């Protein structure tokens, strides 16, 4: 059963024709506003683009006013994949809503941490509706998927801090290997000394990646 996701929107020029949509998926305990500043960072290099950042469907079980895509009380891959399965219908419904609202066939997905896990989870099942995935500090859940035609041309860029104490950089190394095996067009960037976050180098790399995938659609 899906839950309707509340969301935040940033568009540099509300008068311009929207040709591209970037959906930003936040991490555990954050909210949709957490990543929305990225739209301001990239606005000049990504014209005709709207950035949409939903709140995850569930209140964070660690307390506070943040949200979660799934609980981290049980940190096993099996438990997290089960949590992603529960959140998936809400994300799918939201993506369908955004494609209809902005009259686009494909959407670019950006995730951070748990948001990256959800972005990859959705994209590998609906590559026909995804321009590409930009994932920061995340991991791949449920890697044992059939190789679909839509995966073979799906651009994915994974960026991770070498010193990440929250999600070890090995998670991205493993995801990179699995995605290559699935046939995705995947690249990675490991940022020296960076912990669990996004730095200037990652922003620059991500902006170039988004420019590339948007120019192809």
Q: Could you confirm whether 196 is annotated as catalytic?
A: yes
How many whole angstroms separate alpha carbon 119 and alpha carbon 88? 10
Going by C-beta distance under 8 Å and a sequence separation of 6 or more, which residues neighbour residue 157?
132, 133, 134, 135, 186, 187, 188, 189, 205, 206, 209
Question: ∠ CA 26-29-32 to the nearest 5 degrees?
Answer: 35
Helix (H) or strand (E) holding 53: strand 49-54
Q: Give the Cα separation of 70 and 27 in Å (integer).
A: 10
Question: Of 7, 71, 185, 196, which one is the catalytic site residue?
Answer: 196
What contacts 106, CB < 8 A, 6 or more positions away?
99, 128, 129, 130, 131, 217
Alpha carbon distances (Å) from 42 to 13, 54, 178, 208: 13, 18, 29, 9
Catalytically annotated residue among 20, 34, 164, 178: 164
Active-site pick, 113, 129, 131, 178 = 113
Task: Specify whether 8 is catalytic.
Answer: no
The SS3 call for residue 73 is coil
**Catalytic-residue membership of 217:** no
Residues annotated as catalytic (active site), given as ranges: 113, 164, 196
């Amino acid at each position: 059963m899906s839950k309707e996701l509340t969301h935040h929107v940033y568009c540099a020029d509300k008068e311009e024709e929207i040709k591209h949509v970037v959906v930003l998926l936040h991490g555990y305990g954050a909210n949709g506003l957490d990543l929305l500043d990225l739209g301001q960072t990239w606005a000049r290099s990504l014209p005709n683009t709207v950035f949409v950042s939903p709140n995850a469907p569930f209140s964070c079980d660690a307390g506070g006013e943040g949200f979660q895509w799934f609980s981290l009380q049980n940190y096993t891959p099996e438990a997290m994949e089960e949590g992603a399965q529960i959140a998936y219908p809400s994300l799918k419904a939201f993506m369908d809503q955004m494609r209809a609202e902005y009259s686009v066939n494909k959407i670019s997905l950006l995730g951070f941490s748990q948001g990256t896990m959800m972005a990859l989870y959705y994209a590998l099942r609906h590559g026909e509706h995804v321009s590409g995935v930009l994932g920061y500090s995340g991991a791949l859940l449920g890697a044992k998927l059939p190789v679909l035609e839509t995966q073979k041309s799906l651009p994915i860029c994974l960026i991770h801090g070498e010193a990440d104490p929250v999600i070890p950089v090995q998670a991205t190394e493993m995801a990179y290997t699995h995605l290559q095996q699935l046939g995705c067009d995947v690249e990675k960037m490991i940022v020296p000394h960076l912990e669990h976050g996004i730095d200037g180098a990652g922003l620059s790399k991500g902006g170039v990646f988004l420019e590339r995938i948007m120019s192809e659609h």
